[in-house]
Amino acid sequence: MPENTRVAVIGIIVENPGCANEINDILHLYSEYIIGRMGIPYREKNISIISVVIDAEPDVINQVSGKLGRVQGVTVKTAYSKK
User: Is 11 within a domain?
Assistant: yes
User: pTM for this one?
Assistant: 0.92
| Count of domains for the chain | 1
- Where are the extended beta strands (E) located within the chain? 6-14, 34-42, 47-56, 74-80
Domain that holds residue 72: 6-80
Which residue pairs from 21-25 have beta carbons closer than 8 angstroms and sit at least 24 positions apart in sequence?
22/71, 23/50, 23/68, 23/71, 23/74
With CA atoms as reference, report the closest residue to 5 among 25, 30, 37. 30
User: Is 71 within a domain?
Assistant: yes
User: Is 1 within a domain?
Assistant: no
User: Is 42 within a domain?
Assistant: yes
pLDDT surpassing 60 at residue 48: yes
Sorting pLDDT into bands at 50, 70 and 90, what band is 3? Answer: confident
* Residues forming beta bridges with residue 81, ordered by sequence position: none
CA–CA separation, 37 vs 14, rounded Å? 14
- CATH code (residue 70): 3.30.70.1150
User: Is 25 within a domain?
Assistant: yes
User: Is 29 within a domain?
Assistant: yes
Q: Are 56 and 10 in contact (CB under 8 A)?
A: no
User: Is 21 within a domain?
Assistant: yes
User: Is 54 within a domain?
Assistant: yes
State the pLDDT at residue 1: 56
